[in-house]
């Protein structure tokens, strides 16, 4: 991939924010691009059209279904200068780290294995606790082209209607407690490490922090930044999550600004 060209980042549009960008996995890639100052712009694709897009531009699949069929997901990042496409937030981050060795690093020497393990653990634990709190709200803010696909696939996954998974109103006490409990070990590990009251794996930001910010901002965007839910979450575990989110705010923007 070429640093001088404007890369294309494919994302799912929604109406939760004025910028349309809500997907946690795509936000991880967007933050990496912004952090490394790699020029990019967003192109929007609806859920049912992702596979055809990926096959057309040669993007790899990210998952194999139980029957062995490939599944294509965003983020997808394409370099128009070379025609090369990457897919999957972690794989894109690792590839960009190697392709742009002079850009600021999110994988300090000797941390790659720990960060990859962190990504898997945080996604399973915290992403898994967040999803039931958000699914019906995510569906409500999608465009009509994506709503049937999202409802069908998520209801098949969770084996119940979206409205039963995410009832209207505030989260239930049990599910809210489950989210706090899912976050607690990561906060405790960082406290024991004692290198930062903000970052999770060391004195400065790493891709582990990008993962945490991507998932937590998912909740902030779907609930709303001015909601009681978000205000409370920011205070958990000594306010660590609020500090982390504020530290990354400067890299949370959609598309490289055009200089006139």
CATH number at residue 134: 1.20.1050.10
Q: Are residues 64 and 186 in the same domain?
A: no
Chain segment 119-148, per-residue pLDDT in tens:
999 999 999 999 999 999 999 999 999 999
Domain that holds residue 170: 112-250
Q: Are residues 80 and 20 in the same domain?
A: yes
> Which pLDDT value is given to residue 169?
84
Q: Are residues 133 and 227 in the same domain?
A: yes
Q: For the whole prediction, is pTM greater than 0.85?
A: yes
* Domain C-terminal end among 67, 99, 131: 99
188 backbone φψ class: left, alpha, beta (φ>0; ψ -120 to 50):
alpha
For residue 170, what pLDDT band results from cuts at 50, 70 and 90? confident
Least confident of 22-31, 66-75, 201-210: 66-75
In the block, residue with structure tokens 């970052």: 199
Q: Is residue 116 in some structural domain?
A: yes
Does residue 196 surpass a pLDDT of 60? yes
Least confident of 185-189, 226-230, 254-258: 254-258
For residue 227, what pLDDT band results from cuts at 50, 70 and 90? very high
> Which pLDDT value is given to residue 250?
97
In this prediction, residues 47-58 reach a mean pLDDT of 98
Chain segment 242-252, per-residue pLDDT in tens:
999 999 999 99
Q: Are residues 67 and 28 in the same domain?
A: yes
Q: Is residue 193 in some structural domain?
A: yes
> Which pLDDT value is given to residue 3?
58
Contact 190, 236 (CB under 8 A): no
Q: Are residues 90 and 124 in the same domain?
A: no
Contacts of 16 by beta carbon, 8 Å cutoff, 6+ apart: 22, 137, 138, 141, 221, 222
* Paired tokens of 234: 């920011």
For residue 260, what pLDDT band results from cuts at 50, 70 and 90? very low
Does residue 198 surpass a pLDDT of 60? yes
Number of domains in the chain: 2
Does residue 259 surpass a pLDDT of 50? no
Q: Are residues 59 and 143 in the same domain?
A: no
Mean pLDDT, rounded, of the chain: 95
For the range 50-59, what are the long-range contacts, defined as Cβ-Cβ under 8 Å and sequence gap of 24 or more?
A: 50/10, 50/74, 50/76, 53/10, 54/85, 54/87, 57/83, 57/85, 58/83, 58/84, 58/85, 59/85, 59/86, 59/87
> Which pLDDT value is given to residue 258?
57
Q: Are residues 80 and 152 in the same domain?
A: no
Q: Is residue 39 in some structural domain?
A: yes
Q: Are residues 180 and 59 in the same domain?
A: no
Does residue 257 surpass a pLDDT of 80? no
Percent of the chain with pLDDT over 70: 97
Please give the Cα distance from 17 to 219 (Å, whole number). Answer: 12
Q: Are residues 186 and 59 in the same domain?
A: no
Q: Are residues 70 and 140 in the same domain?
A: no
In this prediction, residues 20-47 reach a mean pLDDT of 98
Q: Are residues 140 and 43 in the same domain?
A: no
Contact 214, 31 (CB under 8 A): yes
């Amino acid at each position: 991939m070429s640093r001088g060209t404007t890369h294309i980042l494919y994302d799912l549009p929604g109406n939760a924010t004025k910028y349309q960008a809500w997907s946690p996995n795509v936000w991880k890639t967007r933050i990496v691009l912004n952090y490394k100052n790699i020029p990019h712009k967003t192109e929007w694709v609806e859920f049912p059209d992702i596979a055809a897009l990926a096959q057309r531009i040669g993007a790899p699949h990210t998952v194999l279904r139980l029957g062995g069929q490939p599944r294509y997901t965003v983020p997808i990042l394409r370099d128009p200068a070379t025609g090369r496409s990457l897919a999957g937030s972690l794989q894109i981050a690792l590839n960009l780290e190697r392709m742009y060795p002079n850009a600021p690093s999110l994988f300090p020497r000797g941390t790659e294995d720990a960060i990859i393990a962190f990504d898997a653990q945080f996604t399973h634990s915290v992403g898994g606790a967040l999803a039931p709190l958000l699914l019906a709200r995510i569906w409500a803010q999608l465009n009509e082209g994506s709503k049937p696909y999202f409802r069908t696939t998520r209801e098949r996954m969770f084996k119940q209607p979206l409205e039963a998974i995410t009832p209207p109103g505030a989260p239930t006490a049990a599910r809210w407690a489950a989210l706090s409990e899912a976050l607690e070990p990561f906060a405790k590990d960082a406290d024991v490490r004692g290198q930062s009251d903000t970052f999770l794996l060391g004195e400065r930001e790493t891709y582990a922090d990008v993962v945490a910010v991507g998932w937590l901002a998912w909740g902030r965007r779907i609930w709303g930044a001015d909601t009681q839910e978000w205000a409370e979450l920011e205070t958990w575990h000594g306010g660590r999550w609020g500090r982390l989110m504020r530290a990354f705010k400067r890299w949370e923007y959609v598309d490289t600004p055009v200089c006139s």
